[in-house]
Amino acid sequence: MHMKAFIKNLSILFFILFLIFFSVNYFQSFYNSSPEHYKLQYEEIIKKKEKVNSIIIGTSHATHSIRPSILDEQGLNFYNFSINGASPGFYTNWFNELFLKEYPIPEYCIFSVDWFMFDDEWLWRHFEQDAEYLPFSVYSTMFFNSQFNKKDLIDNRFPFLKYRKQLTESLKLVRGDSKFIMKEYDKGFVPIKTEDKYRLFERTESQYNFKIKENQVDLFDKLVNRLKSLKVKMIFVMTPEYNIDINEYKGMRSIEIINNISKKNNIPFLNYNTTLRTDLNENIEYFDDWGHMNAVGSLKFSTLLKDEIYKITHNEILNE
Amino acid sequence: MLFNSISFAIFLPIVFLLYWFGTKGNLRLQNILLLGSSYFFYACWDWRFLFLLIFSTFLDYSTGIKIYEATNKSKKKFWLWLSISINLGFLGVFKYYNFFAESFADGLYLLGLNANMGTLNVILPVGISFYTFHGLSYVIDLYNDKIKPERNVVDYSVFVSFFPLLVAGPIERATHLLPQIINKREFNYLKAVDGLRQILWGIFKKIVIADNCAEYANAIFNNTSDYTGSTLALGALFFSLQIYGDFSGYSDIALGTARLFGINLLRNFAFPYFSRDIAEFWRRWHISLSTWFRDYLYIPLGGSKVGTGKKIRNVFIIFLVSGFWHGANWTFIAWGFLNALYILPSIIFKTNRNNLDIAAQGKMFPTIKEFFSIALTFGLTVFAWIFFRATSLSHAFEYISKMFTKTLFSVPYIIEPITNLHILPVKFILLLVVFVLIEWIGRERQFAIEVLGFKWNRSIRWGFYILLIVFIFYTGNFNENTFIYFQF
C-alpha cells in the first residue's frame, strides 16, 4: 500500500514537472535569443527550398560578408552555409553527418578561410551545439556514435535545456538576436546591425596569440580532399579585414598552410587582405569590427567577389 | 558515475524498482542486487580498480574471520597488522608514493644532493581512502571484540561497497551498518519520502550552491595576483561555501539514496558553520571521519586522559594525519596543522566540550555572544580553507599576504573571462544569504528542509518542492562537476 502511494505520488510529481518543462520547451522554441539565420540555414539543408548548385562555408566573417544573390549574377546559384565559430572540425561533422546525407553535391564550394581557422578554442562551435536543428534521423545516428558528446547532444536538442539561462529574456518575448537584420536575409547571408558598443577595431592580445592545432589542419586537409573526391570545385576566399598591416599576413603560418593546401590541390585562393587587397580594407565605413563587414561593406565586397568568381568559373584561374 | 549526472538519474530508479519489485522482498536477492549495482556503479569510473576494491574486501573479510578464530593474542595481532599493512600499503602506493618520492628528492636537493626517485604514473582509485578506512574499522573492531565477523561474503561486500557511500563516505561502522544489511528491510513510505527530500536538498547544495561558488572561487584562486584583498577574502568565502555545499550535498544525496533502500547511514554533517568553537566545528564537520580518527587513533594514543605534553602531541598527530588523509600535498598538512593550533587551547584548558548542544537551541536568534563566537569560528575556518584550496604552500602564502593589505577594505570584484568586465555577483551573494538563513532555520534537524512545510497544506508543500526543482534547474550549474572529496 505504502509503496503504491509512493509510486503514485512520485508519478504525479514527475507528470507536473513534465507539463511545466514541456510548456517551457514549446514557448522557448519560439522565444529565444539564438540568431534566427542558424535555423534557416539548417532548414535549407533539410527542406531544400532554394535552387542551389554552389555553397559557401566558413566562419561568421563569411556569413556577414558574402551575399549569395550577388554572386548568382554570374550564373551559379549559391547558398551561404557559413556559421559563427565554425572550425574545420565542425565542418567535417557538418558535412559527413548532415550535408552529405541530406543535400545534393554542389558544383562549387567557396571555402571561406581565416588566419585563425586552425584554433579550435577561438572557433568554439561544436556540431553538437546545433542539435536543435537536426532531423531526428541524423540526431539519433549521432547519439549512438561515441565520437559525439551525449550530454551536449541532449542539452542542445531541447529549447528548455538549451536556453535555460535565457528564461528571463524569453519571457520578454525576445525572438532572435537583434544584432542581425533579418529582413535583409539572403540565402544564409545576414547583415550585422552596427552597434557602437560592440565595435572593436583593434584585435585583443589573445587574438594576436592564436594557436595552430595540428588536428584542425589535418581535418581541413581531409575535408578538402573529400570535397575534391566528390568532384566539388573549390575556391578559397579570405574576406577583407579592417586595417591590418599586409606584412602581418605574410608572416602567418596559418596563411602559409592554406597556401600550401591551395597549391597542392590546385584550388584558387582569393585573399582579399594580400593579393586582392583594395581600398575596402582601409575604409572603416565598410566594417562592423576589424573582422566583420557591415551591410554596405558586404555589398561592395560581394560585387568584387562576383567578378573574381566569374573569372575562375570561366577558366581564368587565379592563384597566389 | 556522479550523483549529479544523467547516468545516475537513470541508474537509481532502475535499481530502486528492481530492489523492491524484482526481488519480491527476498533479502538474499536484495543484497546480491545491491552488490551487483554497487560494483557496476564503481566500474563506471574505471573497471580496472574494481579488482582492487574486491581484493580489499576479501582481505578484510578473511582476516576478520582469522582474527576472530585466532586462539591467542599474538595470532590476532598478526592478522590485524597484516590487514592494516596491506590496506595502508595500497593507500600508500596509490595515494602517497609520488608525494614521498618528490619530497625526499626535494629534501636531498636542499642538502645539495641530486636524487631522482622516479614517480609512478598511477591514477588514484576513486574512494580508496574511504573504503580502506571502512575496512580498517571492521578489522579493528573485531580485534577489540566489539563485533563478530560477518561470514556471508555477499553481506560483507555490501557493507564495504554499498554504492551511496562507496566513493566518498560516510565512513561506516560495522556495528551500525552490518545489522541493517543482514536483517530484512521493509519499505517505509515516510523514510523513502524523507530520503527524496534529503536528495533534493543535497542536489540543491551541490548544483546551485557549490558548483556556482566554484566558478567564482576558481576564478579568484587561479588568478590570485589579479585581485585585491577584498576579492581574495570573497574568494575564500566562496570556497568555504563551495566545499560545504559540495561535501554536505554529496552526503545528503548518499544518505537520502540509502533511505530509499531502507538503510540509514551515519550522519556526516551537522551544520558545522554554526559552531561556536573549533572543537564543536570538528564534531559537526565530516563527522564519520572525525569520529573514526577519534576512536581508532586519538583514544588508542591516550586521548585527553594523559598529561598536557602527550595531549598536545595527540592533537597534532590527529590533525596532521587528518590533513594528510585528504591528500598528498603539504597544503593539506598545513591545513591540519592550523586546525590543531586552533583547537589546542580548548583541549589544554578542557573547554572543548563546552558547546555540546545546538547554537540558540529552540530560539530563532542567537545571543550576541553566540553570534560573535559563530562569526569568529567561521572566520578561522575560512582562513584555514585557503591552505586547503591553494595549489601549493607558496600559493597559500601569496594569497594570504595579498589578502591582508589595504585593499581588503575596497569593493570586491571578479573579472569576467570573455568581456574582462569587473563584476560583483550581487544576486548570487543574496542567494547565498538566503541559503544560510534556511540552513540556520533548519539547524536542529538532520538536514535543513527535513520538516520544512510539514504544517503546510499539501498542495502548497508540493508547490514548494516543484518550485525548488525548477529553481535548481534554472540556477544550477549542470556541468556534471565532480565532487571535491572524490579526489581523496
Q: How many CA atoms lie within 13 A of B332 on its CB side?
A: 15
pLDDT at A320 over 70: no
B470–chain A nearest CA distance, Å: 8
Distances in Å between the alpha carbon of B307 and those of A225, B316, B338, B352? Answer: 81, 14, 22, 16
Contacts of A21 in chain B (CB under 8 A): 473
Tell me if B466 and A2 make a contact (CB, 8 A cut-off): no
B326 has catalytic annotation:
yes
Residue B187: which of A2, A16, A150 has the nearest Cβ? Answer: A2
| B36: β partners | none
| A110: β partners | A56, A235
A126-178 pLDDT per residue, tens: 999 999 999 999 999 999 999 999 989 999 999 999 999 999 989 999 888 88
Per CB distance under 8 Å, which residues of B are interface residues toward A?
6, 20, 187-189, 192-193, 196, 462, 465-466, 469-470, 473-474, 478, 480
pLDDT at B305 over 90: no
Pick from A4, A6, A14, A204 the residue to mutate for testing the B interface (most B CBs within 10 Å).
A6
Tell me if A167 and B474 make a contact (CB, 8 A cut-off): yes
Instruction: Please tell me the pTM assigned to this model.
Output: 0.85
- Nearest residue in B to A2, CA atom: B189
The pLDDT value given to residue A118: 95
Tell me if B478 and A155 make a contact (CB, 8 A cut-off): yes
Cβ-contact B140, B166 below 8 angstroms = no
The pLDDT value given to residue A317: 47
Q: Band of the pLDDT at A53, cuts 50, 70, 90?
A: very high
Cβ-contact A116, A123 below 8 angstroms = yes
- Nearest residue in B to A154, CA atom: B6
Pick from B24, B460, B469, B480 the residue to mutate for testing the A interface (most A CBs within 10 Å).
B469
Residue B473: which of A10, A155, A164 has the nearest Cβ? Answer: A164
pLDDT at B280 over 90: yes
Q: How far apart are CA B351 and CA A239, in angstroms?
A: 75
Residue B189: which of A2, A21, A150 has the nearest Cβ? Answer: A2
A26–chain B nearest CA distance, Å: 16
Tell me the average pLDDT across B428-442: 96
Q: Band of the pLDDT at B173, cuts 50, 70, 90?
A: very high
Q: How far apart are CA A255 and CA A260, in angstroms?
A: 9
Contacts of A16 in chain B (CB under 8 A): 462, 466
Residue B291 is placed in which grid cell? 569520529
Contacts of A17 in chain B (CB under 8 A): 466, 469-470
B398–chain A nearest CA distance, Å: 26
B207-233 pLDDT per residue, tens: 999 999 999 999 999 999 999 999 999
Cβ-contact B4, B480 below 8 angstroms = yes
B43-78 pLDDT per residue, tens: 998 888 999 999 999 999 999 999 999 989 999 999
Number of residues written out for chain B:
488
| More confident site: A319 or A1 | A1
Tell me the average pLDDT across B141-168: 95
Residue in B134, B176, B326, B395 annotated catalytic:
B326
Residue B466: which of A6, A16, A151 has the nearest Cβ? Answer: A16
Q: Band of the pLDDT at A37, cuts 50, 70, 90?
A: very high
- CB of A155 within 8 Å of a chain B CB? The answer is yes
On average, the pLDDT of chain A sits at 91
Residue A103 is placed in which grid cell? 543535400
SS3 per-residue string spanning chain B: CCCCCHHHHHHHHHHHHHHHHHCCCCHHHHHHHHHHHHHHHHHHHHCHHHHHHHHHHHHHHHHHHHHHHCCCHHHHHHHHHHHHHHHHHHHHHHHHHHHHHHHHHHHHHHCCCCCCCCCCCCCCCCCHHHHHHHHHHHHHHHHCCCCCCCCCHHHHHHHHHCHHHHCCCCCCCHHHHHHHHHCCCCCCHHHHHHHHHHHHHHHHHHHHHHHHHHHHHHHHHCCHHHCCHHHHHHHHHHHHHHHHHHHHHHHHHHHHHHHHCCCCCCCCCCCHHHCCCHHHHHHHCCHHHHHHHHHHHHCCCCCCCCCHHHHHHHHHHHHHHHHHHHCCCHHHHHHHHHHHHHHHHHHHCCCCCCCCCCCCCCCCCCCHHHHHHHHHHHHHHHHHHHHHHCCCHHHHHHHHHHHCCHHHHCCCCEECCCCCCEECCHHHHHHHHHHHHHHHHCCCCCCCCCCCCCCCCHHHHHHHHHHHHHHHHHHCCCCCCCCHHHHC
A258-317 pLDDT per residue, tens: 999 999 999 999 999 999 999 999 998 899 988 999 999 999 999 999 999 998 887 644
Quote the percentage of chain B above a pLDDT of 90.
Answer: 77
A198-210 pLDDT per residue, tens: 567 777 766 677 8
- CB of A200 within 8 Å of a chain B CB? The answer is no
The pLDDT value given to residue B94: 83
Q: How far apart are CA A93 and CA A100, in angstroms?
A: 10
Quote the percentage of chain A above a pLDDT of 90.
Answer: 78
pLDDT at B348 over 60: yes
Q: How far apart are CA A287 and CA A199, in angstroms?
A: 9
Residue B284 is placed in which grid cell? 559537526
Tell me the average pLDDT across B22-30: 93
Q: Band of the pLDDT at B118, cuts 50, 70, 90?
A: low
Nearest to B224 by CA among B466, B480, B399, B372: B399
Phi, psi of B440 (to 5 degrees): -65, -45
Q: Band of the pLDDT at A318, cuts 50, 70, 90?
A: very low
pLDDT at A251 over 90: no
Tell me if A6 and B469 make a contact (CB, 8 A cut-off): no
Q: CB pairs below 8 Å between A and B: how many?
A: 34
Q: Band of the pLDDT at B104, cuts 50, 70, 90?
A: confident
Q: How far apart are CA A123 and CA A60, in angstroms?
A: 10
Nearest to A241 by CA among A102, A64, A89, A74: A64
| A271: β partners | A238
Tell me if B187 and A151 make a contact (CB, 8 A cut-off): no
Contacts of A167 in chain B (CB under 8 A): 474
Nearest to A265 by CA among A226, A224, A231, A222: A224
A97-136 pLDDT per residue, tens: 999 999 999 999 999 999 999 998 889 999 999 999 999 9
Cβ-contact A306, A298 below 8 angstroms = no
Contacts of B428 in chain A (CB under 8 A): none
On average, the pLDDT of chain B sits at 92
The pLDDT value given to residue B126: 85
Q: Band of the pLDDT at B42, cuts 50, 70, 90?
A: very high
| A237: β partners | A112, A270
Tell me the average pLDDT across B268-292: 96
Tell me the average pLDDT across B374-382: 97
Tell me the average pLDDT across B309-329: 91
Which helix (H) or strand (E) segment holds residue A269: the answer is: strand A269-271
